[in-house]
Every structure is written in C-alpha cells, then in structure tokens.
Amino acid sequence: MKYSDQVIVALRRIMRAIDLHSRKLVQDYSLTGPQLLLLQMIMRKKEASLGELARTASLSNATVTGIIDRLERRGLVERRRGSKDRRQVFVRGTESARKILENAPPLLQEKFLDEFSNLDESEKIQILDSLNRIAHMMGVDKLDASPFLSSHPLEASEITIIERQNGPNEGNGSAKEGT
C-alpha cells in the first residue's frame, strides 16, 4: 500500500474511533462529548461560571450557553445569577448528573493523553508537527477547534466561525453529523 494510502487509512481509523465513541455516548447516555466534558468540569468544581467553562474548555461563550441550555432542559444542571453581579451566571450539577457521570465512559482523549504524556519531548514535537502539517495539507489548519475529541454536530456559533474563515459556501457541508 502506498504511503499516502496508509496515512489516509490511519486518519480514517482515528475519525472512525471518534465517531463510534461519540455515537455510543449519545446512544447510552444521551450526551455529546462536549456535554460530558462540561458536566465533568461542573461536577469537579461544584459550581462554575459560564465564562469560566468557556475559557477552560476552549469553547465560545455562545457554544457553552447552548450546551448548558440543553443540559438544563434535561435536569442535569441548574443555573443561578451571581449575588454581586447579576449578569454573571453560575451553573451547578444535579443529582441526576452525578448518577450519569458515575457510569459514563472517560472522554476519548484521556487514553491518548495518558500515552502521549509518556513520550519524550522530541516524539511529542514530531507528532505535533506532523499533525499540523497534515491539517495544513488538508486546508483545515485555520479551523477553530477545542482540545477534545468528538464528532458532535456543529453549533450555530461554530458554523459562523467556519463561514467567516472559508466564505459562506464552504464549510456548510461539514456541519453534518458524523462527517
């Protein structure tokens, strides 16, 4: 098999693993990867502001607000306004969220991060450089991305970012789930 085909197969395996993990998460827990990440963050801290969640998860405020809206509708989080600054919104997890997290699988990137942390510095740099080069070769090196693996459907705010970067007719197809 040609090197280029081997690279495509390796990329496809990674994409497929992300997709399968995301589908299982939705099927078994009715959660997306980003929802699970935010729930874990909230439960670890007991309470967090929306802005803090956005910064820590490397997501836009609009994306975090949308995710929290959905979690709140499911009874997994509760919001409260700040006592000193009413504009500030804090979120805390519910007992239902705690029960879900007891059984939920780890985020997909946790195994990768464990293995990656055992590599020496030169190997880490080599992997990072190679992946950045592949992203550039595919023309996706300018896309905004968060540091977690998920094939969740793009939020409206993420589609806007892609359109701003690529133009309104490009990037729209990537909003389909599982692509």
Beta carbons within 10 angstroms of residue 60's beta carbon: 17
- Residue 75 binned pLDDT confidence (cut-offs 50, 70, 90): very high
In this prediction, residues 54-66 reach a mean pLDDT of 91
φ and ψ at 173, to 5 degrees? Answer: -65, -25
CATH number, domain of 80, equals 1.10.10.10
pLDDT (tens digit per residue) in 104-138: 988 888 889 999 999 999 999 999 999 999 999 99
pLDDT (tens digit per residue) in 79-99: 998 888 878 889 999 999 999
Note whether 35 and 67 are within 8 A (CB). Answer: yes
Indicate if the pLDDT at residue 177 is higher than 70.
no
DSSP string, the chain: --HHHHHHHHHHHHHHHHHHHHHHHHHHHS--HHHHHHHHHHHHHS-EEHHHHHHHHT--HHHHHHHHHHHHHTTSEEEEE-SS-TT-EEEEE-HHHHHHHHHPPPPTHHHHHHHHHTS-HHHHHHHHHHHHHHHHHTT-TTS---SS---PPPPHHHHHHHHHHH-TTSSGGGGSTT-
Total domains in the fold of the chain: 1
**Structural domain harbouring 21:** 3-175
Alpha-carbon distances of 96 from 71, 79, 139, rounded to whole Å: 11, 15, 42
